Structure 1
Amino acid sequence: MTIEKHNQQQNKAKKNILAHVLLILSLGIFLAGTYYSGYKLYTLSNEQEQIATDYATVNSITFGVFSVDLWRDKIAHIVTKEIKGFKITSEQKKEIRIEIETQLHAMINQVTKEITKPQKGLGNKLKKFAFKQFVNPKELHDQVPSFATTIVNRITSTKATNKLKNIATNKLDKLADQTFDSTKVAIYQVTKQLYSRYYVNNQQAFNKHIETRLSNIRKVTYNYAYAMLGCVAMAFIAWLILRKKTYLHNTLFIMSLLFALALLATGVTVSIIEVDARLSSLEFLMMGEKVVFENQVLFFQSKSVLGIGEVLIQQPKPDAITVGIIIILFVIILPILRITARGIHMLCKPPIAENAITKYLAFESGKWDMADVMVVGILMTYIGLNGILKSQLSGLNMKDEFLTTATVNYTSLQPGFIIFVGYVTFAFFLSYMLKKVTCSTK
């Protein structure tokens, strides 16, 4: 009887070991998927942030509406087009002829008056005598219309007009060359470097390439985020299935901690919010031609929780530094310590597991954990920024017969926020399960 009981215990122990192994292997597959998805999400998020930053740099309003060079090119193009398209109409020819006739009549009258007035000296008197003998002012006045017509035909001929156009164009080109921005060289170097990085040679090709690439990356990052949450959901399902298998709870809890660690590490390092405000178009008329500026980035930033903390710490203001330190301590470091302490409490022997520090971090430090507060803070920031940007950008929207402007706000929450919310939710669940596991163990 004793031997049979002993064999039963051995069989039960073997079954328990097998159950633990199967649990570890099955959840290990999903755990590997979680970490792989988190890694891909991290790398793709960094890539997206870099590409979006490059896009914002090239399309920055500094390189557009605020660029003297761009204004010069647009104005020069319009003026050159007007010069090349210049033609004298018949009405204008008539006005020119009338003006020339007026000037010629005035000139004849002036010359006649000067010569026929009383003269001194023999030479001047001879000129006056010759003028009266051979020149009839009335005949000169009669010939003025034919002279004026000849002059108009000469100056409005195709050859003369083209020569005038060339002179005006050359003068305009010289003036344009003398008009430039002090940052021209720097802007050229930046854009040249970015164009070469993405194997394009102009802004239009650059924008098309980047927009396509960003669209593809966004789809993939969300897929990895959902895949990551799906893997974590399998751990939650395992708890539901094995809720009565108390002998597996310790192992299941340790595996769950590893899932939580993956969520936390990804959630704090992947971009959580992207602020993108743009002047989508600015149009106005100049000399009858439409001048257009499109896709001008007013402001762009993309940050993770860790990135926000680092930026705040780098600020010169003490209050900003304090907030940055608080974020890193209570949103990143403390949750990691809590996960570690819970693992130690479940795995180690009583002297370590029941240590005051370990127990405090595992059970009582939740009141200092600000991850859930950070979620609310991110949401409030997103709502607040959207409201502010909407208010400010709406003031830039104008539409009348001379000027039309349109703005757009592309601010959005990023996959990192979804993962971080997933961590906070899963952490609450683990806190609840820790108490149950501890009670059942006792």
Structure 2
Amino acid sequence: MRKELISNIVLVVLLIAISISAFVTYSFENERRSKKADLIELSDIKYGMFNVDAWEEQFAEIITKKLKELKLSGDDRKEARTKIETFLYESIDKFEIAYKAENDRKANYGFSLRNLGADYFEIFGQLKEHVPVITEDILDFLEDEENRKNIKAYILKQINSYTEGTFAKINYTKYNHILANYNASNGEDCKATISKELMIINGIQNTTNTILLIAFIGIVLIILFNKKQSKFKNTIYILAAIHALVLGVFLPMIAIDARISSMDLQLMGESISFTDQVLYYKSKSIMEVSSVMLSQGKIKVLLVGILVVLFSVIFPISKLISSILYVYKPSLKNNKIIRFLVFKSGKWSMADVMVVAIFMAYIGFTGIISSQLGQLENSIQDLEILTTNKSELLNGFFFFMGFVILSIFISQSLQKATKINLSSHEN
């Protein structure tokens, strides 16, 4: 009797630990996702490599440095002319590449009318025809020492006159809103602040997840080694399984994260670089995936969504409800549906795992992403690109797996309790 009391007390403590930890994990996961979304937005490639403002900023730094080094006297004018023309030609080439890359990214069916028009009307070729005239104007302007201070604005004005009519301006509303939320003056400071806050949240989640793991293992061990199973114990088991199911269904299972970790090119002996450029990021839970599928309106996608909901939500909930009814409603113990869901459904437990298999297949896409990123690294000469695939399994996956495993042990516990009751009645 005393051992039974201690066992029950331990179970209650474990359930309380699970409830508190589950609440903390769920709460902080929502906060983590919000901050992660902000961090991803700030790192989006549209604000970096695909942003003409970012290129202009780096151009300005290079121009300023080169002007300080530039000396014009005698034969140096010829050398200066060559350097400036080279710079302008390269600038136009770089802008052409950026322009076409942006249009290709937005193109439908891999076809860009903007790029076709640019090639047909030889827009970039016409710009290059004006390079010698612009160069002479620059050299004449540079001969006056006082004007050197203004040359940066002059060159940038020529670039701006081109970019303003060529590139669509980036909408910084969301970007600036994030900066304001974190009281940051620029993107880098804001990303550093968010990263620190995410580290704190991850630390808390790691602690609560460790507590949850220990608690669930403790419950499984009690199921395995405690010979006497009671209504109270089985109720605790079922409540613990409900916690695991809720976390598994509502927390994100996987994050697909593809990004360019660094890009570096040399222009006039100076480096133009971009780091941590996010190409693609998605993080979804079972319920979010189901919601997206059910709202698509396409029959095939709708059927898959229904199957996901059926085997990841409806089937597990029905199994847990049937277990509760089996424990507290003796009159239903011989009900075929109840007995099937409680005992025979173990043979169908792969239906639960099927959802996990779908997500594991989804992970397979990370291999494709890695392959494509690898091709990107090797596809462009004279341009150093390092890519990274930060895709990972998230808490939802492990909690759902925990529910599947725990539900199997619960069925065994109820079956054990049934055999003990039958033996006692026979005696």
TM-score, normalised on structure 1?
0.74
Structure 1 residue 171 displacement after superposition? 2.5
Q: Residue 168 of structure 1: which of 151, 163, 167 is its match?
A: 151
Q: Distance in 2 between matches of 1:45 and 1:366?
A: 31
Specify the alignment match of 2:291 in structure 1. 310
Q: 1:6-405 alignment to 2 at 5 Å? A: 23-88=7-72, 91-92=75-76, 160-166=143-149, 168-178=151-161, 179-180=163-164, 181-184=167-170, 186=171, 188-243=172-227, 245=228, 248-350=229-331, 352-366=332-346, 370-382=351-363, 384-398=364-378, 402-405=382-385
Q: Distance in 2 between matches of 1:398 and 1:337?
A: 52
Q: Please give the secondary structure, in 2, of the residue aligned with 1:396.
A: helix
Q: Distance in 2 between matches of 1:360 and 1:170?
A: 79
Structure 1 residue 89 displacement after superposition? 5.1
Q: Distance in 2 between matches of 1:299 and 1:158?
A: 46
* Alpha-carbon contact 1:20-1:251 (below 8 Å) kept: no
Q: Rate the CA distance shift 1:29–1:93 in 2: closer, same or farther, 3 A.
A: closer
Q: Residue 423 of structure 1: which of 403, 407, 410 is its match?
A: 403
Q: Rate the CA distance shift 1:379–1:219 in 2: closer, same or farther, 3 A.
A: farther
* Alpha-carbon contact 1:277-1:300 (below 8 Å) kept: yes
Structure 1 residue 347 displacement after superposition? 0.9
Structure 1 residue 205 displacement after superposition? 0.7
Q: Distance in 2 between matches of 1:159 and 1:297?
A: 41
| Deviation readout 1:273-330 (Å, 9 max, x if unpaired) | 1111110111111122211011100111111222221222232432122211211121
Q: Distance in 1 between matches of 2:197 and 2:206?
A: 14
Q: Rate the CA distance shift 1:94–1:307 in 2: closer, same or farther, 3 A.
A: closer
Q: Rate the CA distance shift 1:222–1:319 in 2: closer, same or farther, 3 A.
A: farther
Q: Distance in 1 between matches of 2:352 and 2:238?
A: 16
Amino acid at match of 2:359: I
Structure 1 residue 401 displacement after superposition? 7.7
Q: Distance in 1 between matches of 2:150 and 2:177?
A: 37
Q: Distance in 1 between matches of 2:157 and 2:242?
A: 65
Structure 1 residue 84 displacement after superposition? 4.0
Q: Distance in 2 between matches of 1:159 and 1:308?
A: 61
Q: Name whichever of 34-43 and 20-29 sits farther off.
A: 20-29
Q: Please give the secondary structure, in 2, of the residue aligned with 1:281.
A: strand
Specify the alignment match of 1:124 in structure 2. none
* Alpha-carbon contact 1:304-1:416 (below 8 Å) kept: yes
Q: Name whichever of 171-180 and 325-334 sits farther off.
A: 171-180
Q: Distance in 1 between matches of 2:78 and 2:267?
A: 28
Q: Is residue 2:396 matched to residue 1:434?
A: no
* Alpha-carbon contact 1:80-1:169 (below 8 Å) kept: yes
Q: Distance in 2 between matches of 1:395 and 1:34?
A: 46
Q: Please give the secondary structure, in 1, of the residue aligned with 2:281.
A: strand
5+ residue gaps in structure 1? 1-14, 97-155
Q: Please give the secondary structure, in 1, of the residue aligned with 2:376.
A: coil
* Alpha-carbon contact 1:76-1:176 (below 8 Å) kept: no
TM-score, normalised on structure 2?
0.76
Q: Distance in 2 between matches of 1:23 and 1:68?
A: 66
Structure 1 residue 81 displacement after superposition? 3.2
Q: Distance in 2 between matches of 1:273 and 1:213?
A: 21
Q: Please give the secondary structure, in 2, of the residue aligned with 1:375.
A: helix
Q: Distance in 2 between matches of 1:321 and 1:157?
A: 69
Q: Rate the CA distance shift 1:183–1:364 in 2: closer, same or farther, 3 A.
A: farther
* Alpha-carbon contact 1:48-1:217 (below 8 Å) kept: yes
Specify the alignment match of 1:102 in structure 2. none
Specify the alignment match of 2:121 in structure 1. none
Q: Distance in 1 between matches of 2:335 and 2:79?
A: 104
| Deviation readout 1:85-129 (Å, 9 max, x if unpaired) | 321256427999xxxxxxxxxxxxxxxxxxxxxxxxxxxxxxxxx
Q: Name whichever of 250-259 and 397-406 sits farther off.
A: 397-406
Name the count of aligned residue pairs.
Answer: 360
* Alpha-carbon contact 2:22-2:243 (below 8 Å) kept: yes
* Alpha-carbon contact 2:265-2:273 (below 8 Å) kept: yes
Q: Distance in 1 between matches of 2:55 and 2:79?
A: 35
Q: Please identify the structure whose Cα radius of gyration is greater.
A: 1
* Alpha-carbon contact 2:223-2:413 (below 8 Å) kept: no
Q: Rate the CA distance shift 1:428–1:365 in 2: closer, same or farther, 3 A.
A: closer
